[in-house]
């Protein structure tokens, strides 16, 4: 009987990774509901109030991409992004409570209606009530908010995975798009552009499917298919990007004292500090969410275990034990200087098995120093000595490795290196024109003794100290209060 367990496990894993949407399908018609709120919406609603709201006008916040929705076959006249950017921006401004928004998108309709009201009142005042009040004047904007959706990039990341075993298979695919908006504040009195902000938001689409194609009996074919697709709504992504732009515009204005919040100086400084930390993190992040900040400290100790293999004049080389310990110092994010002591054996079957040691000085180049997982290359010079220093020979070594950073202090790595000794007597036999050489392979651990001195990490350390100080203060206040209560109880008892 065939074993279907591997196929079943593969299918089950791929299905369960994104089964939430499948098991929440709308099997019956849904009623109208209030629109979804994003995390930025909640932050805007809880944002500190201004000392005085800014009267703002929004004429048009439009789609400037000119893109139409992409389809696999044929063409479509549906736009890639919503054309309701102005309405979304006005709603975000209202939620923030920092702006008194006045109607400007359909100003012609407003003026026509006011003319109707004015003419009607004039007629009524002439015939019945000469004391009818005049129509109040329109508010004028102190600030105009301009901008729009300037980019919609499709398929900036695509990928997937799948497997099939004995007619049973499953696959998953994903795609990521990106929308970008710009928002600027313009002074109506001078025409000066006060602030400009730029926000991007990714849009994720996922598809999962499973198939079964199997002969259950002779000439009886069973074929089934199940799957679903989950697309993040472009409208919600656009809404969140606009809300984030409004939030950033407010904080940038506070930072430059264009407008002021109803907060103490300490709270305002904390708000700006949090914003600067977020901005620094954004600046240090590349397009594909790669956080470009130093992750490794300047000093580290290293240790590794592995095997060594000789390549000399004798036949039948055998792998033998290899170990090393050492230290390394970062010269910059890409280059490290390391010194190691290595203890290892070299063996040719039934001919040679001798212990050696070496002292190596290496220059190491990290290919991706800002990532947790990075390949690295190294080369250097060293000395190769047999046990009890019977012979000491100079050598050069070159190698490559792969390191993964588990946390800020510990990284694990695997490496392989080629050692060329300037002697043909390592194995005790002199033969030919080529010097002896050997290889070393191993896995090890780097323990970083310091954290990278970036502003981001310094701010994190400051926050930790600040929280610890606050916690200690609360603890001390609680202790003093308990002592006061205890003294009061004792006083009442004595009385």
Question: Cβ of 123: how many Cβ atoms within 10 Å?
Answer: 10
136 assigned to some structural domain: no
Among 209, 244, 259, give the residue marking a domain's end: 259
Whichever domain contains 17, its CATH number is 3.40.50.10610
Instruction: Answer yes or no: do 315 and 200 share one domain.
Output: no
Taking the C-alpha atoms of residue 55 and residue 100, their distance in angstroms, rounded to an integer, is 5
343 assigned to some structural domain: yes
134 assigned to some structural domain: no
Angle value at C-alpha 282, between 280 and 287, nearest 5 degrees: 145
DSSP, collapsed to helix, strand or coil, labels residue 73 as coil
Instruction: Answer yes or no: do 337 and 440 share one domain.
Output: yes
456 assigned to some structural domain: no
285 assigned to some structural domain: yes
Instruction: Answer yes or no: do 337 and 218 share one domain.
Output: no
378 assigned to some structural domain: yes
Do 274 and 422 form a contact (C-beta atoms < 8 A)? no
Instruction: Answer yes or no: do 175 and 52 share one domain.
Output: yes
Taking the C-alpha atoms of residue 1 and residue 3, their distance in angstroms, rounded to an integer, is 7
Whichever domain contains 387, its CATH number is 2.40.160.20
453 assigned to some structural domain: no
Do 224 and 211 form a contact (C-beta atoms < 8 A)? yes
Instruction: Answer yes or no: do 478 and 443 share one domain.
Output: no
Bridge partners of residue 381, in order along the sequence = 361, 396
How many separate domains does the chain show?
A: 4
Angle value at C-alpha 135, between 130 and 138, nearest 5 degrees: 165
250 assigned to some structural domain: yes
Nearest to 59 by CA among 139, 146, 141: 146
**218: exposed, middle or buried (C-beta count within 10 Å: 0-12, 13-18, 19+)?**
exposed
Contact residues for 27 (Cβ-Cβ < 8 A; gap 6+): none
Instruction: Answer yes or no: do 431 and 364 share one domain.
Output: yes
Instruction: Answer yes or no: do 377 and 404 share one domain.
Output: yes
Instruction: Answer yes or no: do 231 and 306 share one domain.
Output: no
DSSP, collapsed to helix, strand or coil, labels residue 385 as strand
Instruction: Answer yes or no: do 281 and 310 share one domain.
Output: no
pLDDT in tens, the chain (495 residues): 445 454 455 445 545 544 554 555 555 677 777 878 888 888 888 888 888 889 998 888 888 888 777 776 655 777 788 888 888 899 999 988 999 988 888 888 888 888 888 888 777 766 666 666 677 888 888 899 999 898 888 888 888 888 888 888 888 888 888 899 999 999 988 889 989 998 888 888 888 888 888 887 877 888 888 888 888 888 888 899 999 999 999 999 998 888 888 888 888 888 888 888 777 777 766 655 555 667 888 899 999 999 999 988 888 889 999 999 999 999 988 899 999 999 999 988 888 888 899 999 999 999 888 888 899 999 999 998 876 667 788 999 999 999 999 988 899 999 999 999 988 888 778 887 788 899 999 999 999 998 776 555 555 555 555 556 556 666 666 677 767 667 766 776 666
DSSP, collapsed to helix, strand or coil, labels residue 177 as strand
pTM over 0.85: no
Cα distances (Å, whole numbers) of residue 406 to 293, 305, 350, 412, 457: 16, 19, 42, 7, 17
Among 241, 259, 277, give the residue marking a domain's end: 259
Instruction: Answer yes or no: do 412 and 284 share one domain.
Output: no
Instruction: Answer yes or no: do 201 and 274 share one domain.
Output: no
Phi, psi of 289 (to 5 degrees): 60, 30
What is the domain range of residue 275? Answer: 263-293
Taking the C-alpha atoms of residue 238 and residue 244, their distance in angstroms, rounded to an integer, is 10
Instruction: Answer yes or no: do 162 and 307 share one domain.
Output: no
């Amino acid at each position: 009987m065939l074993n279907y367990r591997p196929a079943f496990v593969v299918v089950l894993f791929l299905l369960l990774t994104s089964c939430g949407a499948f098991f929440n399908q709308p099997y019956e018609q849904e009623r109208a509901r209030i629109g979804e709120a994003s995390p930025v919406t909640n932050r805007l609603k809880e944002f500190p109030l201004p000392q005085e709201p800014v009267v703002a006008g929004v004429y048009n916040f439009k789609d400037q991409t000119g893109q139409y929705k992409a389809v696999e076959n044929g063409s479509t006249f549906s736009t890639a992004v919503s054309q309701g950017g102005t309405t979304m921006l006005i709603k975000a401004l209202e939620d923030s409570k920092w702006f008194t928004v006045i109607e400007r998108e359909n100003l012609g309709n407003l003026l026509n209606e006011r003319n109707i009201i004015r003419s009607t009142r004039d007629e009524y005042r002439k015939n019945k009530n000469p004391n009818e009040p005049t129509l109040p004047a329109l508010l004028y904007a102190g600030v105009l908010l301009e901008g729009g959706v300037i980019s919609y990039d499709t398929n900036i990341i695509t990928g997937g995975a799948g497997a099939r075993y004995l007619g049973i298979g499953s696959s998953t695919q994903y795609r990521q798009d990106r929308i970008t908006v710009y928002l600027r504040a313009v002074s109506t009195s001078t025409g000066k552009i006060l602030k400009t902000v730029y926000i991007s938001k990714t849009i994720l689409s996922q598809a999962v499917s499973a198939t079964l194609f199997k002969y259950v009996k002779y000439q009886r074919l069973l074929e089934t298919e199940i799957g679903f697709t989950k697309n993040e709504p472009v409208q919600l992504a656009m809404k969140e990007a606009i809300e984030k732009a409004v939030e950033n515009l407010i904080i940038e204005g506070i930072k430059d004292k264009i407008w002021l919040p109803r907060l103490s100086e300490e709270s305002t400084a904390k708000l700006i500090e949090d914003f600067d930390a977020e901005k620094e993190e954004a600046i240090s992040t590349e397009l594909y969410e790669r956080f470009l900040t130093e992750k490794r400290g300047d000093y580290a100790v290293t240790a590794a275990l592995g095997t060594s293999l000789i390549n000399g004049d004798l036949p039948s080389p055998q792998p033998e034990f290899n170990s090393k310990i050492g230290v390394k110092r970062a010269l910059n994010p890409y280059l490290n200087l390391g010194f190691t002591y290595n203890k290892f054996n070299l063996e040719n079957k039934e001919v040679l098995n001798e212990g050696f040691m070496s002292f190596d000085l290496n220059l190491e180049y990290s290919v991706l120093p800002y990532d947790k997982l990075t390949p690295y290359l190294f080369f250097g010079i060293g000395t190769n000595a047999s046990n009890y220093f019977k012979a000491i020979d100079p050598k050069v070594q070159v190698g490559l490795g792969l390191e993964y950073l588990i946390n800020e202090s510990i990284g694990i790595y695997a490496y392989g290196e080629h050692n060329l000794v300037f002697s043909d007597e390592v194995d005790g036999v002199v033969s030919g024109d080529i010097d002896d050489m050997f290889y070393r392979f191993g896995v090890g651990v780097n323990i970083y003794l310091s954290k990278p001195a970036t502003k981001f990490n310094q701010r994190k350390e400051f926050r930790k100290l600040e929280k610890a100080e606050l916690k200690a203060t609360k603890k001390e206040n609680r202790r003093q209060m308990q002592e006061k209560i205890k003294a009061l109880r004792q006083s009442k008892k004595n009385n």
